Amino acid sequence: LTKALNKMANDARNSKLSPDDIQGGTFTISNFGTFRNVMGTPIINQPQVAILAIGTVEKKPAVIETPTGDVIGIRHKMFLSLTYDHRIIDGAYGGAFLRKLADYLENFDGNKVI
């Protein structure tokens, strides 16, 4: 999967993708952050069922809850935007997916072996 994804990404960067290369998918990830955009509104590539847009990561002030009270600190933040076909995916499942993805990203441990 990694080799196929890397080949496809390389072909896309070099304008070598053909229509056949992008057929048969069910879900798209679009990285608006590459262009330093904070957020975007992704449009589903029919007949796929969903598309996830990822914005740029920026340092932002945030409230941090501590045992001794709330403090303001600097945290890395980004927007995730999920568009899905409600005929196929119930809103509760779409929201739960986005929350789970955010949980994984917020608690990512780069030292953990997967």
- Residues labelled as active-site residues: 86, 90
Closest CA to 72 of 55, 60, 85: 60
Helices (H), the chain: 2-13, 91-106
Neighbours of 66 (CB within 10 A): 8
Please tell me the distance from the alpha carbon of residue 45 to that of residue 49, in angstroms, as a whole number.
8
CA 46, chain centre distance (Å): 19
Closest CA to 50 of 93, 21, 11: 93
Please tell me the distance from the alpha carbon of residue 104 to that of residue 38, in angstroms, as a whole number.
20
